[in-house]
Amino acid sequence: MAFRGRLADWPAFVGAFMERHAITAVLMHSEQRPYHHEAAAEARRRGIDVIVTELGYLRPDWMTIEKYGNSVDSLFPTDPDTIRALAAGVPDVDTAVRYPREAGLETVDDLKTNLANVFLWFTYPHYRQHGLYHPFVAYARFLWREGQLSRRNAAARAVRDRLAAPFFLFAMQTDTDFQIRTNSQYADTTEALTEVFASFAAHAPAGTRLVVKKHPGDLGPVHWAERVPQLAAAAGIAGRVAFVDGLPMSEWTHDAAGLVTINSSAGLDGLAAGIPTITLSPAIYDVPGLTAQQPLDAFWTAPQVPDPALFAAYRKALAASIQVRGTIYSRAGTRAAAEAMANRILTGTVNAPDPADRTPPRYARAGALGIRPR
């Protein structure tokens, strides 16, 4: 049954659909998209299971499948002892890439969706996409960025080669990402950077540098190569901040004094490298003993180091409960992920063992930050 109404009418429509067809579970990709968010809320009100998929917390060729929600809404535990118990008897995580990214596949699939949305808009006249930018604008920015790849990497390499320890790393995210829009307390990345720069200026030891790394998928309109120096100058640390837009994350994490992020999966790269990592907002890996639990002001002078044994247990528990091998960036990977997810659903092993308490453990911190209701 097609829905061609307005978003305001969607909750009543989808709720009635669930009741009429006696739906027992709702499966969706990313529950924070507006239509998905409302459908999930209607399902939960009726006691219907919500099963959410996403890109993998483990990268690059993993996918996520969870009951209830992802990220802030995840039911995955934050208690270190519970995580260790989940990891007991579980084999080590295989980090070898099984499904290499197929060049052009993501672009082809994206074009199929967006061309239909743009040119056949009249078939669903009230539909609104979840992204912030018109797809054609995003495509133009993507092509420009790809054409600048060599130059961007060379500029980043020049910074990396002359960078002397100690330095901290800030991993940027994209303003269109729901990790910023609905899972953080910030209106945008500029607000987060302003807060980080003020803290760094007031509390980081003299001589310490801060490297701000742009997200490789950022297709927004902000010219960060200009904005970041402007914000740094306003905070009085222009000479201590370097902006980079290139090189893999591993080039920066292996010897950084610490990593700061809002809630990016880049935090897992920091933990894997064994460097102190702090999240400004709740993240799936925000676990005592892994991420620094101290205030940001204290992080610059005495950052808490992650426990490598706990991180190994965390990855094993994650892989055994809410991750499956596969990726949407490979046809073989997509088939593998779909089969593994179907198996988890049919065998009742999504989130296994499934916690009885449906209160996401990250809600306490999220409520204190105003991200979710207390």
The reported pLDDT for the residue numbered 238 is 97
Question: Is the pLDDT score of 34 beyond 90?
Answer: yes
pLDDT higher than threshold 90 for residue 180: yes
Taking only the tens place, the pLDDT of each residue in 35-69 is 999 999 999 999 999 999 999 999 899 999 999 99
Lowest mean pLDDT segment, chosen from 94-98, 261-265, 268-272: 94-98
What pLDDT does 225 receive?
97
pLDDT at 14: 98
* Alpha-carbon Rg for the chain in angstroms: 21
* CATH number for the domain formed by residue range(s) 164-311: 3.40.50
pLDDT 10s digits, 136-178: 888 889 889 989 999 999 999 999 999 988 999 999 999 999 9
Determine the pLDDT at residue 374: 63
Q: pLDDT > 70: what percent of the chain?
A: 100
Inform me whether the pLDDT recorded for 11 exceeds 80: yes
Mean pLDDT, residues 350-356 taken together: 87
Average pLDDT over residues 226-236: 98
Q: Tell whether the model's pLDDT for residue 133 goes beyond 90.
A: no
pTM comes to 0.93
For residue 9 the two structure tokens come to 């009418």
Average pLDDT, the chain: 94
Q: Where along the chain do the CATH 3.40.50 domains lie?
A: 164-311
Closest by CA to 53, choosing from 269, 292, 324, is 324
Question: What percent of the residues of the chain are helix, what percent strand, and what percent coil, each to the nearest 5?
Answer: 45, 10, 45
Helices (H), the chain: 10-20, 34-45, 80-87, 105-119, 135-147, 149-162, 178-181, 189-203, 224-234, 250-253, 266-272, 296-299, 308-321, 331-346, 363-369
